[in-house]
Amino acid sequence: MDSENNNEYVKGRRCGYVAIIGRPNVGKSTLLNYILGQKLSITSKKPQTTRHSLLGIKTTETAQLLYVDTPGIHGAEKKAINRYMNRSAKKVIRDVDVVVFVTDRTEWHADDQVAADALKGAIGSVIVVVNKVDLLKDKTRLLPHIALLEEKFPDAHIVPISAEKGDNLDALEKLVEENLPYDNFLFPNDQITDRSERFLVAEVVREKIMRQLGDELPYAVTIQIESFKSIKSILHIDAVVFVERDSQKQFLSEKAVRN
């Protein structure tokens, strides 16, 4: 592909935005990372890992797919950060050509319904993904569940996948591409996100903290990258970790020493 001419109209090429949405912890960021073939979005066993929408760009010979990973949509909006996360995800739904709505196996939680209700704002086509099927021992349980989803979403495609193992992702990606408009590519062919390196580094630090601290530390961790220098091809990074309370500060530093 010629990266300099990527904005020229080429017959048959498609380009468009694809939102990955769903309740927390269903595997949205894992899905984005598998599709991109690299780790861009942080993931963890804890719900509400993703806090900000994140663009992941996949360019092929025939299409440029602009995937937007979003924070998990959920009903509890007590804290400002939760309201912000919900708003951020719901806004994306209204702006994209395709919505990939991710669910977890045969589960249907109240928060799945909150996310499903937000789909009413979608103008693009909707694909309902049943993720984590690798964990389903009895695969026959999928059939009645898919029938149920078809009733709930009469106009949507339903696709069972495993975002972790990559099962059936070819079929999903093909379906996504077929639902994008014919259009010029918007980004250079080698660009994979619109986020800065600083943002991505801060996210990796946050991921390590979330993964190592189990349930002890609440979500109120914010990372600020103070300096980011490349000296003799080694990256030197200084980061500050903000927590809510002094007790958490002490806890975090004790853990950091132990790990």
Amino acid at 194: D
Neighbour-count burial for 148-184, b at 16+ CB within 10 Å, e otherwise: ebeeebeebbbbbbbbbeebbbeebbeebbebbeeee
132 binds, among Mg ion, ligand GTP, none (CB under 5 to 8 A by kind): ligand GTP
50, with CB counted inside 10 A (0-12, 13-18, 19+), is: buried
Phi, psi of 157 (to 5 degrees): -85, 145
Figure out which of the listed residues 14, 21, 33, 50 binds Mg ion, where binding follows CB under 5 A: 50
Neighbour-count burial for 217-230, b at 16+ CB within 10 Å, e otherwise: bebebebebeeeee
131 or 248, CB closer to ligand GTP? Answer: 131
What is the footprint of ligand GTP within residues 51-80 (CB under 6 A)? 71-72
What is the footprint of Mg ion within residues 6-45 (CB under 5 A)? 28-29
Task: Tell me the window of 126-134, 149-157, 209-217, 234-242 that interacts with ligand GTP (CB under 6 A).
Answer: 126-134
CB 119 within 8 A of CB 93: yes
Figure out which of the listed residues 77, 150, 164, 183 binds ligand GTP, where binding follows CB under 6 A: 164
Task: Tell me the window of 2-10, 47-55, 192-200, 234-242 that interacts with Mg ion (CB under 5 A).
Answer: 47-55
- Joined together, the tokens standing for residue 63 give 């299409």
Q: How far is the CB of 167 from ligand GTP (least distance, A)?
A: 8
- Write out the residues near Mg ion by the rule CB under 5 A: 28-29, 49-50
- Write out the residues near ligand GTP by the rule CB under 6 A: 22, 24-30, 43-45, 47-50, 71-72, 131-132, 134-135, 162-164
